[in-house]
Structure 1
Amino acid sequence: MPILVKDFTWSQTNKVVHIRVPLNPVAHEKVDLFPTEKYIKANFSPFLFEVFPLYDVNIKKSKCFVKEDVIILDLMKNDEITWECLEKELTKEEKMKIRQEVLEKCLEQAKQESEDRKIKKSQLDRYTVQQAMEIDSQQHKLMDSRRDHERKKAMDELEEWRVGKVSVTEESNGTELQRGDEKIKALPPPKDEERVEINTTKVEKGVQKKDEEKMKREPVLKSVPRAQKPPKPVKTPVKSEYVEKKKVETAKRVLPRLRQTMNLEINHTPRTFPTPSRESTADEEQAWLKNITLARRATGFVSEDLRPEEQDPQWCKEKGDEFFKNGNFLGAISAYTHGITLSDKLPTLFANRSATHFALGNFNKCLNDCSTALDLMKPPCESNRRSRAKCIARRAAALARLGYLSKAIDEMKAAGKLLPDDETIQKDIYDMERAWEQNPDSD
C-alpha cells in the first residue's frame, strides 16, 4: 500500500499556485506524474502524492519541475482570485468518483488524439503519393519533350540532306554544266569501261548527236554505293568456376544402388452368387462393383473403408475440429462434409465448416454455410444465442471481405445485440464504420 505524502508546502499569488513536494530519499528518475485540471497525482514508489485543487486549473499553461530532492508544481489559475485552501473537502467516495471521471476523460482524449494522428497520417500518405505522381508526370513530360526535340532535330537534318544541293564535277574532260546559278561537273567514266563503235545510218547518227548535246546540257549525278553492314561480333562463351566445380562434383558423385523390385500378391475372398453358374454373370457384376467403388473413392469417403466410429457425425465433427486446430483445413472440410452427408440436420457441422472456408478465403461458401447453420438453429433460444451470434458475425466478416460493407455493418450490429458484452464485436463494428466513412462506395 503506498505511503501518502503530507509534508508538502504550498503558496499562491493571484495567478499561480506553487506546490513543493520533497523527494528524499527517492531517486528523481522514478517519478510518475499525472496532472489534470481537477486532480494531480505524483507517484514515486512507495510514496504517493495527490491533490484535489479547490478550483480547476489551466493544466496546459502550468509547469512542473522534477529536481533531485523536490518536485515543484506551478499551477496556473483560471480566475485571478485568492484560494482559502489548497484542496476540496471530499469524502472517499467523491474522490473515487473524480478519479474515475478524470481517467475516463483522459482515455477518451488519448483515443481521439490517436484517431486524429491516424487521419493526419493517412492524409500525409495520400499527399505524398500525389506529390510523387506529380513529380513522375513532370519527369515523363520532360523526357517526352527531350525525345521530341531530338527526333525533330534528326528529321530536320535528314530533310536538309535529302533536298540539299549536290554539286557534281566532271573530271574527265573538264567541262562544267549550268543549273540555274550553280555550276555542276560531270563524273568521269569508269576506267574499266571500253568504248564500242557502232555503224549506224545518218538518221541514227543525227539522233545520237542530239542525245549527246542533250547530255551536255543536263548534269550527270553520281550514284552513292550502299554502306556495307559491319560483321557481327563473335560470341565467346563465359566460363564460371562455380559451374565447372559443380559439374566435376556431379560427375564424381556416387549414387546408391536401386532398390530391388518385388511383386505383391493380394488374394481377395471370392464372392458367391445365388444364381446358377450357367445363368450367372459374375464377371460383369465384379466389373460393375469395381467401377462403382473407384468412382466413390474418387469423390470422397467410402462407407466400406470406414470404421464403425467414423460413421458417427459427432465423431466427424470432433475430428474436423482437431484438423482445424492443427491447421489442416482441407482435412477439416473433408471431415465436416462427410459428417453432413451422414446427418444434414446438425448445425455445428455447417458452422464449423464455414469457419474453415473463411480461413481458406472461400468467402462465398462461408456465407452459404453460415446461412444454413442459422436456418437449422430454430427456434431461437438462450441455449443457441452465442452460436447464432458467432455465425452472424462470421457472415458479416465474409461480406466485408467481399466488399459489401453496408450489409456487413448491419449483420455485425445484429450479432452485437445478441452479445452486447463482446468487445471484439464492438471493435469490429467500429472498424467497419470507419472503413465505410473513408470509402462509402465500396458496395
Structure 2
Amino acid sequence: MPFLVSDYSWTQTDSTVYINVPLKGAKFGKVDILSTDEYIKVHYPPYLFEAFLFEPVDDDRSTAKIRNGVAVITLQKRTSKMWEHLMINTSDKDKKKEIREQSLLKYQEKLSAASRSKAEKVQTQKKYALETMMKLEKEERDSIQKMKDNEQEKTTAELAAWQLRQKQRAEDEAQVKLQSQEDYQHKKKTMTEMQENGCSDGKNYKKRQAGLSAPRLTGNIQVTFTPRVFPTALRESRVPEEEEWLKKQAEARHTVNADAEELMDLRKEDRTPDWLKDKGDKFFGTGDYLSAVNAYNQAIRLNRKIPALYSNRAACHLKLMNLHKAIEDSSQALDLLTPPVAANGAARVRAHVRRGSAFCQLELYAEGLQDYEAALKIDPHSETLHADAQKIRDIIQGTAANPETQ
C-alpha cells in the first residue's frame, strides 16, 4: 500500500493554483503524473499524492513540471475567484472512487485523441511529401519534354534551312551553267562572223574589243577572327545567351549607382566594387561576418549589377542566422545570373544551395529541396549535392529526425 504524501504545499491567485509536491529523491523516469479537470495524481513508488480539487480547472491550459526534486503543478482556474480549500472536504470513499475512475477515463480519452491527432498529422505530412514529389517529378518530365520539343523544332528548322541552301545552290549552278552556254554560243557566233567578214573586219573587231577595260587582278585577303570566350563547340553552344551574358558582365563593370556626393566621401580604392568585394571575402575568411556584410553593402551601393556581391552577402547572412535576408540576396543573385550559360553555372549552383539551406533552416523543406534539385540540374555529378538533397527528402518523408529535436 503506498504512502500518502502530506508535506505538499499550495498557493493561489484569482486565476491560478500552484501545487508543489516533494519527490523525496525519486528519479525523473519513475514519476507518474496524471492531471484532469477534477483530479490530480503524482505517483512515485512507494509514495502517492492525490488531490480531489475544490473546483474544476482548465486541464488544457494546466501544466506539470519536475525541477530540483519537486513536482510543480500549475492549474488554470475556470472562474476567477479564490478557493477556500485545495481539495473537497469529504470522506466519502465511493465519491472519491467515482471521481478517480471518471478522471482516468477522461485521461485515457485525451491520450487517445492525442494519438489520433498525431497519426493524422503524420499522414498529412506523408501526403504532402508525396504530392510534392509528384509535382517535382511532373515538372521534371515537362521540362524534359519541352527540351525534346525544342530540340525537334531546332532540328526541323536546320533541315529546312539545309534544304533551302541546297535548292539555292542547285539554282546557282544551273544559272552558271546557262551563262556558260550563252557565253560559248556568243563566242562561237562572233568567230563565225569574223570568218565570214574576212581578216580586215577581224582586225577592226579586235580594235573595237581593245577599248574594253582589262580584267581585275586577283588576290588573297587575310581574315582573322576573335577567339570565342566559351570553349564549347558552336553547334552545342547557346550563342545569343552567351553574348547577352558577356554584354551584361561588361555593363556591370561600368555601372555606378552611388551619388556623386557620396563618392566624394570615399577613398579612391573604396570606390571600386571589386576591391570592396575582395575585402569582404577576406573578412568572411577570418569569420568576421558583420564586417564582410558592411563591405558588400558598400560595394552594392556602388554597383547593383554584380551577382557575386549578393551571393556572398547571402553566405554571411546564413552564418549570422539572418535567414530571410539570405533568401532575398540569393534570389537577387539568381535574377542577375541570367541568361543561364556555362560561364555562370558554378555561381548559380552556389546561389541555389545558399537559398535552399536558408529554407531548410526555416523548416521549409519542400522549397529547400526545389533549390537543391535546381543545383543538381546544373551540376549533376556533385556527390555532396546528391547527399544533401537525399537528407532533405528523408526529412520530408519522415524517415529522418528533425535536427532541432535530437
TM-score (norm 2): 0.40
Higher relative contact order (CA 8 A, sep 6+): 2
Q: Which has the larger radius of gyration?
A: 1
TM-score (norm 1): 0.37
| Structure with more helix by fraction | 2
